[in-house]
Each structure stands twice: as C-alpha cells, then as structure tokens.
Homo-oligomer: A and B are copies of this chain.
C-alpha cells in the first residue's frame, strides 16, 4: 500500500484519487502547422512504431527513443480530420497509453487523433446549436439480447412539436453502436449542417449493426444480413416511430452505412423500396450476390428510379475495396439504375466517412 502516491490534497483541502505517478508527457501534440508529434514512455522497449489511418495499410513510422526512454515521431502536416492510430511496442499493438480519446471497437484498442480545421469542419465542435444523442437499451427478441441504440435528436427537438424525417445509419464491422457518434461525429456534423441550413433537421437512428457475434465463423456471419434486416424492420423502425416524433412514410426515411453497414443499407434498401426513398453506401458495395439477390428489382430500373430519390455511392480512391465498389456502380449503370458514384481521396477510414455523411445528409428529404 502506497497511500501517499494515490492521494493528492487539493489546495481546497478536498482529497482526490489520482493515477500514480503523475506524468507530464503529451501525446498526441498537434503543432500549429498541423504536424503531429506522438510520444510513448517505454524505456525497456527495443522497437516502437506508429501506425495511423492517414498511412497506407501495412506501413509503419519508426519512433526514436530519447535518453529518458520516451519514444517519439513527428508526422504530417495532416489534413484536418479524425484519425485512428496505434503504437506497436516490441510486437504488441496498443492504443496510446495517455491519450484519453480511445476509439471503442469490437476488438482491439486504438486511439483517436483530432486535427481541428480553421474555419471549423462540420465534425468539429462549433458554436452552433447542438442536438443531443440519446442512448437506449432495447431488448431484442429477434437477436436475443439487450443492446444499445444511439439516436441523434436535432437542436430544438424537445422544444418543437414538429415531426422529423429519419436517417437510419449503420457502422462498419469493427465498430460498436457508439461509433457513428464517437468516431464519426455524426451528431456534430448534423448540428453544423442544420445550423448552416445545408441539411434539414432530421433524426438519425444508429443501431448496433452486428446481429451475430463479431468474429463468428463464416457460416454464422452469413446470417448477419438477414438477421439484421429482421431486427431493423421488425424492432428498430416500429420502436423509433413510436418513441420519437417521426414524420411518416418512405419519403421521410433514408438508409445509409459504411463498409459492412453499406452492404446492409444497399441490400435492405433495395429489398424495401416501399420503406426507404434514399440509400447511401460509403466505402462499400452491395456484395457479390447483389445482382442475384435483387434480380427482379434490378430488371425494372424504371420502377426503382421512380422510387429512389437518391442512391449515393462514395469510395476512397485508396480503399482496398475500391474495385468492388466500382463494380457495384457499374452493375447499377449497366441496368439503368440511377445513382451517384463519387470518388474521394482517402482509404477505408473515418476521415472519408465523416466527409461522406457531410455530403450525403444535405441531399436528403427535400421532396
């Protein structure tokens, strides 16, 4: 027991517990020129490297050790946005031990670096009215557990009696229900767009996109899409429409997602054009089975085009899934199905997905 090490006496005399011993190390440190220095104290380590979401997958930045055992590296300048990063210390990949901004994931930790823009980007905390994010714990009979559903409510939701259109927004495979708000800043993006009158006030419903356990064997994982579809349509939609002041009808419903969530949004959206009028697919595709699965719908492009006011596909040029995404757009093109195919700089990363949402949301619910 070392009580002295864990109790500090404030000047006010209030005893508080603190992690012993205090360390004044700073990481990450963002310079004014947007270069960023990462530091980790590991005096016994032989090799320490950095990997960040702005780097090509499989690459690494070697870090160098100073006389006090602190390893560091300076990178950039980086484009203002949010980036996941990890350290590898003698073969163990870890989050930055002193950065409080930890990206919550299905498995393995990473840290979040936020490089703010000037003027503020849509995902920065700006001086605009802020909506709120309501976290619900919902028992699912379809899936058999109690799980979180995150719901963005626009500024003034509690003050006004209006009904709002709804975007159903799905995360990627490594993510959790918190990801679109924690890493994606979906709420801040909507706050900014609504304040600038670029997007109409809307509700955003963000369920957990895993209907089978993450990391399941392929034969189990194959059940994720149909089970998630059932969960979404039988439980989430009716619940959201009964709990929140939701504007009725398909014109007021959009569906979008990133990576795995883009596979969910394209497939569920296409199977239920009676329910959704806009689809967003970020860094994803409909999957290799899409043409088969939706044969009848695809063959009647005229009916699809009459129903979908927006079918928006976006892909980072450096995304490992680029070719697959482009193939999907080609399939739509060949069948005369109206869509947008947008390419942007970047890989399979949150910087791209924040940008996607900031582009996609303003196009919704104008009819």
Chain A positions near chain B (C-beta within 8 angstroms) = 1-3, 5-7, 9-20, 22, 40-46, 56-58, 89-95, 97-98, 100, 102, 104-109, 125, 127, 130, 132-139, 146, 158, 172-174, 176, 181, 187-188, 191, 215, 218-219, 221-222, 224-225, 243, 259-260, 263-264, 267, 284-290, 320-321, 324, 348
Contact = CB atoms under 8 A, between A and B. Distances in A.
B174 A17 contact: yes
* A-B CB proximity, top 3 nearest: A13-B288, A14-B263, A11-B222
Contact of A2 (B58, B105, B225): B58
A169 to B, nearest CB: 16
B45 A11 contact: no
Contacts of A187: 137
A188 B6 CA distance: 29
Given A2-B57, A107-B19, A146-B125, A90 B42 contact: yes
Contact of A12 (B107, B191, B287): B287
A9 B57 contact: no
Nearest to A155: B137
26 contacts: A5-B57, A5-B58, A10-B221, A10-B225, A11-B221, A12-B263, A13-B287, A13-B289, A14-B267, A14-B284, A14-B286, A15-B259, A15-B287, A17-B320, A17-B321, A19-B174, A43-B91, A44-B91, A45-B90, A89-B89, A89-B92, A90-B90, A102-B109, A109-B109, A130-B136, A133-B135
A96 to B, nearest CB: 8
A97 B93 CA distance: 7
The oligomer's copy count stands at 2
B290 A13 contact: yes
A139 B128 CA distance: 9
Contact of A92 (B20, B97, B136, B221): B97
Contacts of A259: 15-17
A57 B1 contact: yes
A267 B357 CA distance: 45
B1 A44 contact: no
A6 B57 contact: yes
A260 B95 CA distance: 27
Residue of A9, A14, A173 with most partner-chain B CB within 10 A: A14
A9 B173 CA distance: 12
Contacts of A58: 1-2, 5
